[in-house]
Structure 1
């Protein structure tokens, strides 16, 4: 293990017992081997899931506000170690400094949200047709929640799920991406510190409430297949979702799927072009195009195309590509060689169907050990070929449009349905875009890009994006089960719908 990585992990509470294993971890920033991590066997995974189920049986009995106190203490740990954990995100996932810190801030925000939620797990009182009866719904903890996270948001997505699941009374089992196990180990170590403080304050907490499974496909399958896992929240590719979803359905478990996103934006004639330029640039190039909400398709109105696109090309040529921890860097590396190959393959295919590519060159930072590229802007004559697929890299396909309804139809003409946006100062266009006849995505924004979501709003999408929702709004219900209760406080037994059954 590199000395810098060791010091960083130690500051976050990760002990040497987790290192020296068989899972090799390379930093995308340099390509160097930075750690070798102990993997979880399938036998160990099953034992931890069994332990989590036993923990759930006890945790569900603890009042929700007291469960919220554990999440509050975890938020304190995150605040105290934000800089270190954010830096580790940059080292392991290749995010620039502000994005690494921003990811940890998302974790802090969801802790605050979940703590408040722990006193707001409301059910309904329902009008009943029967005299001297009361009908209501109640919400109960669900069970063990499995969380499968991806490399691009290695800690925030876990927190979205874990914090809500914990206040809802569930146990949690986390299988992080095998590309980013160090951030998972560090996050779990901080959570264990919160548990220690919770116990020290006199609260009861069962052993095994939160478990971590480090490894590849085998431990992921163990989590998906285990009959004590009531819900699996899985973030990743649509292909992964197609594998996970049927397995969960076969045993009648719940699935919360956050999958691909081939997101689009429309630049209308009335748009503020300065604002649009900034919105498009961040949405398309940020995180080196490795966000599920990255802007990948751009429809620009004929009347402003020749004024807007050259400015966008200039922005593409001016952004600093480099080591994410260096000052001024806006674009870090692709995660690995496979991502770079997918990038080049998509650009070659686009050229083959007439696309005009600006940018897209490899940038030599550390030779070919790491994979830095200049973001690519591809002008296309038609909505076809690679435009219809998500390539997890900084490629923006730009097309002209003349009719707003036609642009919306093209935006919707892909398999994914995660996020979308329109830049316009025309209220009719904005309202059309957000209406039932507009964007078919789970997120539809006006005058901001499709990227990013505050934890107060439910995050997720439709169609091949999976249909799941995390964070915000009423998404807590995914982590609980609902019961309808009818109480007869009278001395007769009237039946519903006027049924008569006298004996």
Structure 2
């Protein structure tokens, strides 16, 4: 087995990017070196050099995919390939984790937990603060890598790294607010209170669409709560995970943290199954499809463990006749086409009052005509590629099913090819006239397809909004206070997120993120989501000289 330690940043090749033949040098110290030829990264007009100073080994080698913090290693020749959907190039290969690697990681994490749980929570928060500073320093580098490996636009890639920074800031404050409650005892000279203790090992299974942000929502809170983390990233975006592990290395080292506080295991479905079935892992937080979440939830429940599931969404915006359409249309379009329709909060259904339907159709057609599709690292691009050709096939299947169901298109669909679209992963965002009960509308298709559905009354609109198996995000555009309040009431949206006069995407760190029904019921990020990462303990303290029993029970010897 080859152990690979992290490289000293003073000797590693500085940051450099090459796109469309133009060199873009980022701030660095020392010289700049760019490899012009690489067997792993063929030359093309889209060639991109991702950042050496945020990966554990030089850019042109196969990378170890197992880590317990500062140590990276591999013990197999099996790899997963990371292709960029931007141009189809092979960025790098990553060695997968074997079962022996996994067990070593878990055992190391168990040992680390014994030490980490005893570190005072505010001190754990200080360590997370330092991690946030590291991500601030590498925001541009990591944001570009996210965009290139996943395919989202550069502003979205940078925004995803900002989410890491934001949750670090939030977690620092949370570390001093892990509050329990005090209760009045019915027994004299007794005090009752509750406190929260670290839970243990937390497994994090993340998805490709937010390859680093979702990890951070879980990990930063878990760390301030005293847990240790084992991250299984999507096999479609492993390099961003390696980069995150590299970025926090100085913090781990400078604070003398043991190996095992921050762990990484890479591979396919079987690695997620190891986490789900392992009784040593106290909590498994899984983000992805409903199918995946159902399998994880059942496996964890079978061993009586905890799971936190953040799964699919089939999100709708209701557009009232009282809506400000100048406000609504940009929110609708961003919600529908942002990240090429691959967000769990993507707007998939647009429920429009029949009196303004024609106007909304016209405005949407005009807005969609202004969209620019292409290399997401280029300025002015609104829509990048889908993650891979399987996603393109899913898009095309949905388009065919819409037509077979009798649907027509306000904005026509299609796939793109030719110069600039060599990867075969680019599609046209489209808008379809549809009916809510169609099977294709009831399912989540991870692509920029927006279904246009008319309604007559607000009660009908809310019924349509709620009439799908998923329950993540929802919104209404209206200037009518009664409509807004009804939508937010118990008789309104059944989703975990309900907004007024903003879209379904773009949740802030401070709010709990998640939804109901097939979305899984879990909550991540803000509010009191931290409680999922801790165990609650009720304490009763008798400071008197007698032993009264609760409920007035007497027991005499």
Q: State the TM-score, normalized to the length of structure 2.
A: 0.87
Q: Comparing 443-452 with 376-385, which one deviates more in the overlay?
A: 376-385
Q: Distance in 2 between matches of 1:381 and 1:464?
A: 21
1:19 maps to which residue? 63
Are positions 1:160 and 2:217 aligned together? yes
Q: Comparing 215-224 with 89-98, which one deviates more in the overlay?
A: 215-224
Q: CA deviation at 1:18?
A: 5.3
Equivalent pair of 1:64/1:118 in contact (CA under 8 Å): yes
Structure-to-structure mapping, 1:5-84, within 5 angstroms: 8-16=50-58, 19=63, 22-84=79-141
Structure-to-structure mapping, 1:22-421, within 5 angstroms: 22-199=79-256, 205-357=257-409, 358-364=411-417, 365-366=419-420, 369-381=423-435, 383-421=437-475
- CA deviations 1:7-28 (Å, max 9, x no partner) are 5341214214752862111000
Q: Distance in 2 between matches of 1:420 and 1:14?
A: 40
Q: CA deviation at 1:427?
A: 0.6
Q: CA deviation at 1:64?
A: 0.6
Q: Comparing 346-355 with 363-372, which one deviates more in the overlay?
A: 363-372
Q: CA deviation at 1:222?
A: 1.4
Q: Distance in 2 between matches of 1:450 and 1:349?
A: 25
Equivalent pair of 1:416/1:465 in contact (CA under 8 Å): yes
Q: CA deviation at 1:441?
A: 0.3
Are positions 1:2 and 2:61 aligned together? no
Equivalent pair of 1:148/1:175 in contact (CA under 8 Å): yes
Matched residue SS, 1:369: coil
Matched residue count: 498
Matched residue SS, 1:492: coil
Equivalent pair of 1:354/1:381 in contact (CA under 8 Å): no
Q: Distance in 2 between matches of 1:113 and 1:124?
A: 22
Q: 1:493 to 1:382 in 2, by over 3 A?
A: closer
Q: CA deviation at 1:423?
A: 0.3
Q: Distance in 2 between matches of 1:326 and 1:105?
A: 19
Q: Alignment RMSD, CA only?
A: 1.5
Equivalent pair of 2:83/2:90 in contact (CA under 8 Å): yes
The answer for unaligned runs of 5 or more in structure 1 is: 200-204
Matched residue SS, 2:547: coil
Q: 1:3 to 1:160 in 2, by over 3 A?
A: farther
Q: Distance in 2 between matches of 1:473 and 1:367?
A: 42
Matched residue SS, 1:134: strand
- Higher relative contact order structure (alpha carbons within 8 Å, sequence separation ≥ 6): 1
Q: Distance in 2 between matches of 1:78 and 1:240?
A: 30
1:202 maps to which residue? none
Equivalent pair of 1:46/1:222 in contact (CA under 8 Å): no
Q: Comparing 106-115 with 188-197, which one deviates more in the overlay?
A: 188-197
Equivalent pair of 2:41/2:89 in contact (CA under 8 Å): no
The answer for unaligned runs of 5 or more in structure 2 is: 1-39, 65-76
Q: Distance in 2 between matches of 1:382 and 1:34?
A: 41
Q: Distance in 1 between matches of 2:319 and 2:376?
A: 30
Q: Distance in 2 between matches of 1:124 and 1:3?
A: 60
1:488 maps to which residue? 542
Q: Distance in 1 between matches of 2:194 and 2:216?
A: 28
1:465 maps to which residue? 519
Are positions 1:477 and 2:477 aligned together? no
Equivalent pair of 1:353/1:385 in contact (CA under 8 Å): no
Structure with the higher helix share, 1 or 2: 1
Equivalent pair of 2:191/2:541 in contact (CA under 8 Å): yes
Q: 1:219 to 1:497 in 2, by over 3 A?
A: same
Q: CA deviation at 1:39?
A: 1.1
Q: Distance in 2 between matches of 1:45 and 1:318?
A: 48
